[in-house]
Amino acid sequence: MLSNPLPANEADRLAALRSYDIFDTGEEKDFDALTSLASAICQIPVALITFIDEKRQWFKSHHGTEYTENLRELSFCTHAIASGDEIMVVPDARRDERFANNPMVTGPTKIAFYAGVPLVNEDGYALGTLCVLDQESHSLSTQQLDALKTLAKQVVDKVELRRKISSLEKTNQQLLNSNVLIQKFASMAAHDIKNPLSSIMLTSQALRHRHEKLNDEGCIRLIDLNISSSQTLLSLVDEMLAYSQTPSLLLAKKHQFDFNSTLRKIIVLINVPENVRIVLPEGKHEINMSVIAFEQIMINLLTNAIRYNDKENAVIQLSVQEDDGFYNFEVEDNGIGIAELYHEKIFASNFTLKIKDRYNKKGSGIGLSTVNDLVKALNGSIHVKSIPGEGSTFFVRIKK
């Protein structure tokens, strides 16, 4: 038995084969119908649709045999895809030096006849074959050979259609996920806008009263705060407008930024009561990721830590670490805590614990599910550890 030849473009051929994601998939009637037809036309009992990777010859359809795969080194088809011919016919393998000592010929299967048409895709790569086999020698007529070639083209068409349908389904799912993310993001972002707007309204009202007094330094401080809040709001609105025009910016537009500086900007946006102390990590921590996504994640986690804290002296501790492939963020609080039963459920869409926060309001169930979606979209994960009455720690792990 001679060594198996490899196609000249083997590496590219294997890459093309993987793109079809067809190996080890279930039986499909359309493919079975073609092998049945090939067997009937050629009057050969066994017909196969095979695909060949580095080591295996796998049968997508197998008519006339219960075998579902073979070693590539033993397969006739590996010779067929390397030949470059439209069809390879072996009238009697027992008399062919390539196969005379092949265990498929000398062993229990006793293959004598083989005819295989390479399944060549639109880019010219032979993915496998449509073949017929028997334990007796045969010769096929020109009409039978032409019919086998025609059936092989139909196999390729079905494989191509299958890949395109799969691609469309994935694209459709991505669009559905994107739409859900847009809705959740818009809802959460609208909530975030209320905070700086409220700050502007309150400071403007206070400014109106103080402006009546001359030489009041507090008036200048309120003016500065008003301007700062306005600038922050305008920046957030600009980001939202850019995102609404190009949703992919939410995740794709990455920047280098300082963890603590960005958190201070976020803290200005939210309403932090006097009895709440937010502790930032020491040192400088440079992060490279989507700033918009990071802000939305942290705004929500911080807001929840504030809202659901019943302690006289509330403390929220933030930390960041990184390893070779991930950023690891932690948001720890000493709030009311979450029962273990709900540690996974809180990240589900529209799930709420039906409890009121420090402002006597119930949650919407949007925030943490949106955070979960954002983190997953960033190739990350989020989970919580919590003890009721003692507090919670949210662990966010995001791929660099």
Residues paired with 394 in a beta bridge: 331, 384
The DSSP string of 145-194 is: HHHHHHHHHHHHHHHHHHHHHHHHHHHHHHHHHHHHHHHHHHHHHHHHHH
The pTM (predicted TM-score) of the whole model is 0.49
Please report the pLDDT score of residue 239 as a whole number. Answer: 64
Contacts 24+ apart (CB under 8 A), 169-175: none
Of 129, 147, 169, which closes a domain?
169
Residue 191 lies inside a defined structural domain of this protein: no
Work out the angle between the directed axes of helices 367-377 and 291-307 (0-180°, nearest 10).
150
Residue 271 lies inside a defined structural domain of this protein: yes
Please report the pLDDT score of residue 189 as a whole number. Answer: 63
- Find the helix or strand (DSSP H, E) in which 229 lies: helix 217-245
Residue 229 lies inside a defined structural domain of this protein: no
Residues 122 and 22 in one domain: yes
Residue 213 lies inside a defined structural domain of this protein: no
pLDDT below 50 — which residues of the chain?
none
**Are residues 312 and 283 in contact, defined by beta-carbon separation less than 8 angstroms?**
no
Of 169, 190, 217, which closes a domain?
169
Please report the pLDDT score of residue 246 as a whole number. Answer: 60
CA distance 332 to 375: 18
Q: Would you call 214 helix, strand, or coil by DSSP? A: coil
| Of 363, 370, 281, nearest in space to 327 by CA | 281
**Are residues 130 and 116 in contact, defined by beta-carbon separation less than 8 angstroms?**
yes
Residues paired with 59 in a beta bridge: 50
Residue 160, CA distances (Å) to 6, 59, 86, 166 in order: 23, 17, 19, 10
Please report the pLDDT score of residue 180 as a whole number. Answer: 62
DSSP at 260: H
Residue 94, CA distances (Å) to 39, 67, 102, 111, 244 in order: 22, 21, 9, 8, 69
Q: Which CATH number fits the domain that encloses residue 145?
A: 3.30.450.40
Residues 263 and 392 in one domain: yes
Residues 29 and 156 in one domain: yes
Q: Which CATH number fits the domain that encloses residue 352?
A: 3.30.565.10
Residues 263 and 157 in one domain: no
Residue 294 lies inside a defined structural domain of this protein: yes
Please report the pLDDT score of residue 352 as a whole number. Answer: 83
Please report the pLDDT score of residue 128 as a whole number. Answer: 96
Please report the pLDDT score of residue 242 as a whole number. Answer: 61
pLDDT in tens, 75-120: 999 999 998 899 999 999 999 999 999 999 999 999 999 999 999 9
What the block records as the tokens of 343 is: 């540690």
Contacts of 122 (CB under 8 A, 6+ apart): 160
**Are residues 94 and 54 in contact, defined by beta-carbon separation less than 8 angstroms?**
no
Contacts of 106 (CB under 8 A, 6+ apart): none
Residue 347 lies inside a defined structural domain of this protein: yes
Residues 135 and 263 in one domain: no
Please report the pLDDT score of residue 112 as a whole number. Answer: 96
Residues 26 and 134 in one domain: yes
Burial class (CB in 10 A: 0-12, 13-18, 19+), 210: middle
Please report the pLDDT score of residue 154 as a whole number. Answer: 96
Please report the pLDDT score of residue 147 as a whole number. Answer: 96
Residue 189 lies inside a defined structural domain of this protein: no
Of 169, 188, 218, which closes a domain?
169
Residues 159 and 260 in one domain: no
Please report the pLDDT score of residue 367 as a whole number. Answer: 80
Q: How far is CA 128 from the centre of its chain?
A: 29
Residue 45 lies inside a defined structural domain of this protein: yes
Dump strand ranges (E) for 268-325: 276-279, 286-290, 314-322
User: Which residues form the domain of 156?
Assistant: 10-169
pLDDT in tens, 293-332: 898 899 999 999 999 999 999 999 999 999 989 999 999 9
**Are residues 263 and 318 in contact, defined by beta-carbon separation less than 8 angstroms?**
yes
Residues 19 and 148 in one domain: yes
CA distance 365 to 188: 11
- The total of structural domains in the chain comes to 2
DSSP at 281: P
The DSSP string of 31-62 is: HHHHHHHHHHHHT-SEEEEEEE-SSEEEEEEE
**Are residues 118 and 80 in contact, defined by beta-carbon separation less than 8 angstroms?**
yes
DSSP at 340: G
